[in-house]
Structure 1
Amino acid sequence: MTPLPRLFAVLALAALWAARAADAAPPPDVGAETPLTLQETLRRVAEQGPQSALADATLRSAEANVGVARQLPNPTLSVEAENIGGTGAYSGGQLRETTTSLAWPLELGGKRAARVRAAEAERTAAVLGADAARADAVLQATEIFIEAAAGERRLVLARERLRLAETGVNAARARVRAGKASPIDEQRAEVVRLNAEVAVGQAQRTVDLARATFARWTGTPGAVPRAAWFETVEGDVSPETDTPPALALAEAEVAAADARLSVARRARIPDLTLSAGVRRFAAVDDRATVVGIALPFPVFSSGRAGVAKARADLDASEARQRTIALDYGRAAASAQAELDNARAAAQTAGGPALAAAEEAARIARLGYEAGKFSQLDLLEAERVLAETRGGAVQALTDFHLARARLIRLQGRADPLFKD
């Protein structure tokens, strides 16, 4: 066989093998889940979320504003023609005079320096505002992550409650058939099972909604939270050592308002415009130097209204700063108390209370099957167990949410837990 037919034969065999392999390969799982840790979630939100894009655009705008403030006023080139027409000796433009001049405005009173200081102060406030916007996005993403993780656990508990209810129905049916219990026990157990089915449906719909929200925020279809630390009740939030972000932003806004007031005051100082040029006399073809100076006369606009507005803006910024300082003290104390209460509730609900409820339900189940306890005792024990488990999940959720909010309030960048 010549080399060319051999090559065709090899290619045909390779194509046949590839087709069979494709037929044998399982189809892609379109609904596959993508577990994400909290750190992965925050990274994807920072990369894809509109909050970061908005913060970056705000910073670019503030930086460009500083560049605009540093610019000098543009000179003006003017050309004037006189005596270009008329009667008598001025007809035909024989006595035409043409003046070409360049006018340069001079800003007096330190206007440019004040304008640059105001732009730089506004840039500082913009940086702090952008950091606050990113921190808000981190808090929202963390809250969505925690709620989604809690929903997954509530669904597991609802399914476990349904399993126990089905076991209770089977046990009641067996006792009724053996003549050891009244048929009402079987009906009562069936009602409990139906209610458990409804609870599973509600929990599933809640999880579906939480997953959809989680996927939108992360930009990852099928994203599900992976929080191995959810059952962990630890991680104290150390007191802040720096100025809290809310107070720092308020101080920056006061500084920017004060700088704008300085700009408004200096704007009342008139600016000079110097001009120099050359005038040509067409009749004799001679040239002469022309210089000039212009000074505005503030008759209608003296700048007082601008100063009054800037003064009022500064007073408002200072009032907001005092209000934020008062609110921060109250909010910080409230957030710390909320965190302490949530920690205590989580430690109790997930510790001795849960262990006691599980043991009581186990004893009641064995006792009912042995005919030592009534069905009402069993249902009550299982109800307490379900409420305790649900309370433990809620307490853990409240703890993590309170911790995330306190971290945001203090402006810390450390995550809740290291995944």
Structure 2
Amino acid sequence: MYRIVVALVAATSCVAIAQAQEVGTESRQISGPLLTLDEAVALAGGSAPAAEAAAADVDAASAARRVAGLRPNPALSVEVENFVGTGPYNGVNGADITASVAIPLELGGKRQARIAVADAAAHRAQIAQAIAQADIRFQVTELYIQASAAEVRVAIAEDQYRIAGDTARAATIRVQAGRASPLEQERAEVARLTAETEAEKARRLADAARASLARRIGRPVTGPLDVAVLGGPGSGTMGPPRPVSAAGTLALAAADADLATADAGVELARSQRVPDLTVGPGVRRLEATNDVAAVFSVSVPLPLFNNGRAAVDQANAERRRADAQRRVTALDIEQKISDAEVEAANAAAAARVASGPALSSAMEAARIARIGYREGKFGQLELLDAERTLTEMRSASIEALASYQLAKARLERLTAPAPLEGN
């Protein structure tokens, strides 16, 4: 029923445009290929700054993972002793030279802890990228539905304007034939002017909606839109409420990733409490005997002032915050999903009422009233009342269908699944 209604309303735009010149209204020129919702989403995703930023974050996290796996660089040192002194040490001829390499040895699992933090951050960046893509799809879907609904409103307004013009001409004929008073002609002319104003208003709003969609996808929207996206729910009931759970959603996955990053941060802070060793094997040349000897040094930092305890306390506090934020997120998402399901159910019920038998009856009543008015069987007031009722029902139908699709899009965004780790 709903696709039939939408197709019927869209088809009236062709009639309205074809007859617009006869009744004096300026038709809108729409040319170009059909732009579907999926095509609009793809275009927006390819030019959206948010998508580029999310992709850059993923690349940065991947590079950070490689950095985390690197070991510390060794240091080469050269020492010159016993030169530029007094007596036998005057000049540089008596200098002893020592060359050594300082090799840091990380202890306590620091490298593994860094890698774990980098892995958690990389997974969080992937989730952020999925969130950006879901947001882009939702935003484009909203704009596309609004633009499609605006196009259907233009079709309705232009069709009503065409009908008002036909009614005005019929009223003129009746007055000239002496079958009606001039007041009837004036009322018909007022109705025609009102319909013309509404048609112009609908066209301006549709052009604005198209411009908003064009800005979002990064290219002009010159072709028609697929008004089939305004199809309504089925005729059956919505069924019993589903159990509301935030598990598997993008928002909860982001909170889980933040908690995993905080856990890895705690392990990293603990590993930092273990002092590292620096070993320095080298070679010394003794100028006095022209001999060469090996040297070996070991250095260990003394944790007298900073033993790492404060850093562990900070990491534990951040972990508690991430855990609490995860619980808050789970409650918020479940509440939002529940509200969105109720909103979608209410919108579905409104769409069934507005786009069902009531609209069909209003269309048939208006058709009969037009025929009866031309044949002199109905008065003008009956015709105007039937036309007003049909206009209201058409507008209510489009509003209900658009509201249902927007509510469904919001629910789909809230329940969008999270990507698997590593994908």
Decide: shared fold, TM above 0.5: yes
Matched, 1:113 2:112: yes
Query: Per the alignment, do residues 287 and 341 of structure 1 end up closer, same or farther by CA in structure 2, a change over 3 Å counting?
Result: same
Moved more, 168-177 or 220-229: 220-229
Matched residue, 1:353: 358
Q: Distance in 1 between matches of 2:91 and 2:215?
A: 78
Contact 2:30 2:224 in 1 (8 A): no
How far has the Cα of 1:372 moved from its partner?
Answer: 4.6
* AA matched with 1:353: A
Matched, 1:148 2:167: no
Contact 1:128 1:249 in 2 (8 A): yes
Matched residue, 1:213: 212
How far has the Cα of 1:208 moved from its partner?
Answer: 1.6
Which residue of 244, 253, 264 corresponds with 2:249?
244
Contact 1:240 1:410 in 2 (8 A): no
Matched, 1:265 2:270: yes
Moved more, 104-113 or 161-170: 161-170
The 5-angstrom pairing of residues 177-188 of structure 1 reads: 177-188=176-187
Question: 3-state DSSP class of the match of 2:98?
Answer: strand
How far has the Cα of 1:123 moved from its partner?
Answer: 1.5
Which residue of 312, 317, 320 corresponds with 2:322?
317
Q: Distance in 2 between matches of 1:106 and 1:371?
A: 103
Deviations 1:116-148 (A, max 9, x none): 111111222222221111111111121122111
Which residue of 329, 343, 346 corresponds with 1:341?
346
* AA matched with 1:395: A
Q: Report the TM-score when normalising by structure 2.
A: 0.84
How far has the Cα of 1:194 moved from its partner?
Answer: 1.9
* AA matched with 2:189: E
Contact 2:154 2:206 in 1 (8 A): yes
Matched, 1:203 2:202: yes
Contact 2:232 2:405 in 1 (8 A): no
Deviations 1:152-191 (A, max 9, x none): 1111011011112212222232333333333333222222
The 5-angstrom pairing of residues 18-417 of structure 1 reads: 32-221=31-220, 222-234=222-234, 243-412=248-417
Moved more, 314-323 or 240-249: 240-249
Q: Distance in 2 between matches of 1:381 and 1:128?
A: 54
Q: Report the TM-score when normalising by structure 1.
A: 0.84
Query: Per the alignment, do residues 224 and 281 of structure 1 end up closer, same or farther by CA in structure 2, a change over 3 Å counting?
Result: farther
CA RMSD, Structure 1 to Structure 2 (Å):
2.5
Query: Per the alignment, do residues 403 and 295 of structure 1 end up closer, same or farther by CA in structure 2, a change over 3 Å counting?
Result: same
Q: Distance in 1 between matches of 2:216 and 2:243?
A: 30
Question: 3-state DSSP class of the match of 2:345?
Answer: helix
Q: Distance in 2 between matches of 1:412 and 1:68?
A: 30
Q: Distance in 1 between matches of 2:209 and 2:243?
A: 33
Contact 1:110 1:266 in 2 (8 A): yes
Q: Distance in 1 between matches of 2:54 and 2:267?
A: 28
How far has the Cα of 1:234 moved from its partner?
Answer: 4.0
Q: Distance in 1 between matches of 2:38 and 2:251?
A: 24
Contact 2:244 2:334 in 1 (8 A): no
Query: Per the alignment, do residues 106 and 305 of structure 1 end up closer, same or farther by CA in structure 2, a change over 3 Å counting?
Result: same
Q: Distance in 1 between matches of 2:383 and 2:335?
A: 47
Q: Distance in 2 between matches of 1:271 and 1:367?
A: 98
Contact 2:152 2:227 in 1 (8 A): no
Contact 1:171 1:369 in 2 (8 A): yes
How far has the Cα of 1:70 moved from its partner?
Answer: 0.9
How far has the Cα of 1:251 moved from its partner?
Answer: 1.1
Q: Distance in 1 between matches of 2:317 and 2:182?
A: 80
Q: Distance in 2 between matches of 1:170 and 1:139?
A: 47
Q: Distance in 2 between matches of 1:310 and 1:34?
A: 56
Contact 2:147 2:213 in 1 (8 A): yes
* AA matched with 1:248: A
Contact 1:128 1:248 in 2 (8 A): yes
* AA matched with 1:40: E
Give 5+ residue unaligned stretches, structure 1. Answer: 1-29, 414-419
Q: Distance in 1 between matches of 2:351 and 2:417?
A: 24
Q: Distance in 2 between matches of 1:350 and 1:45?
A: 31
Moved more, 39-48 or 195-204: 39-48
Query: Per the alignment, do residues 162 and 71 of structure 1 end up closer, same or farther by CA in structure 2, a change over 3 Å counting?
Result: same
Q: Distance in 2 between matches of 1:227 and 1:198?
A: 24
How many percent of aligned residue pairs carry the same amino acid? 43
How far has the Cα of 1:106 moved from its partner?
Answer: 1.0
Q: Distance in 2 between matches of 1:220 and 1:32?
A: 15
Query: Per the alignment, do residues 31 and 181 of structure 1 end up closer, same or farther by CA in structure 2, a change over 3 Å counting?
Result: closer
Give 5+ residue unaligned stretches, structure 2. Answer: 1-28, 419-423
Q: Distance in 1 between matches of 2:259 and 2:119?
A: 13
Moved more, 163-172 or 98-107: 163-172
Query: How many residues matched?
Result: 384
Question: 3-state DSSP class of the match of 2:230?
Answer: coil
How far has the Cα of 1:260 moved from its partner?
Answer: 0.8
Deviations 1:252-294 (A, max 9, x none): 2101111112111221222111111111222332222111111
Q: Distance in 1 between matches of 2:44 and 2:227?
A: 17
How far has the Cα of 1:31 moved from its partner?
Answer: 7.7
Q: Distance in 2 between matches of 1:342 and 1:86?
A: 94
Contact 2:244 2:337 in 1 (8 A): no
Contact 2:232 2:404 in 1 (8 A): no
Moved more, 33-42 or 44-53: 44-53
Q: Distance in 2 between matches of 1:302 and 1:195?
A: 81
Moved more, 321-330 or 292-301: 292-301
